[in-house]
């Protein structure tokens, strides 16, 4: 399933049909912040967490989170973290897919994230979903802007 297909899937159905097999569902911001702190990945989430989703294994074990944090009234940062022992199993892709899906529903055109300039995982993650991104490096910190795809226009049967 591509990210473009995810944009047209019911959120509850998408939670059941992830690439990783994890169940993605909304979680409260305190649980997301505690997870990020436990992993030592609070960078970029100093702003107010707006929304958060968790990736659950066996319905109870939280193994990853994806969050939106408000940077300014018009700018939202995205942050994804997965426990080390569950990385490279498409959990990050599932979480990014959910974030992009939500961003499109909110009418956002971009998501921003920051990461160490030498880290290649964030760009590989974005490319794995065939998303378009631009990246700027300053003082060994990369800021990546992901362009949110627009949902395809669906015509009714009577339209040409």
7-51 per-position pLDDT tens digit? 444 454 444 446 667 788 898 888 888 888 888 776 555 556 678
Rg (CA), the chain: 16
Q: How many CA atoms lie within 13 A of 12 on its CB side?
A: 0
Q: What is the pTM of this model?
A: 0.73
- Per-residue pLDDT band for 159 (boundaries 50, 70, 90) equals very low
| Alpha carbons 13 and 120: distance in angstroms, whole number | 31
DSSP state of 119: -
What integer is the mean pLDDT of 108-113?
Answer: 83
Can you name the CATH fold of 3-147? Aminopeptidase (3.40.630)
pLDDT tens figures, 41-70: 765 555 566 788 998 988 788 889 988 887
What is d(CA 20, CA 55) in angstroms, rounded to the nearest whole number? 9
Mean pLDDT of 71-75: 68
Segments making up each domain of the chain, as ranges: 3-147
Q: pLDDT value at position 115?
A: 84
């Amino acid at each position: 399933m591509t990210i473009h297909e995810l944009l047209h899937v019911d959120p509850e159905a998408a939670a059941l049909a992830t690439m990783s097999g994890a169940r993605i569902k909304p979680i409260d911001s305190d649980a997301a912040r505690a997870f990020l702190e436990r992993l030592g990945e609070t960078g970029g989430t100093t702003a107010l967490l707006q929304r958060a989703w968790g990736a659950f294994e066996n319905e109870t074990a939280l193994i990853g989170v994806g969050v939106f944090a408000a940077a300014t009234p018009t700018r939202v940062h995205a942050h994804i973290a997965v426990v080390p022992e569950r990385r490279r199993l498409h959990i990050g892709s599932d979480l990014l897919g959910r974030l992009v899906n939500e961003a499109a529903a909110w009418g956002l055109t971009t998501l921003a994230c920051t990461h160490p300039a030498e880290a290649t995982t964030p760009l590989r993650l974005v490319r794995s979903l065939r998303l378009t991104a631009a990246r700027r490096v300053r003082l060994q910190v990369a800021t990546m802007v992901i362009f949110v795809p627009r949902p395809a226009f669906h015509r009714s049967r009577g339209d040409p």
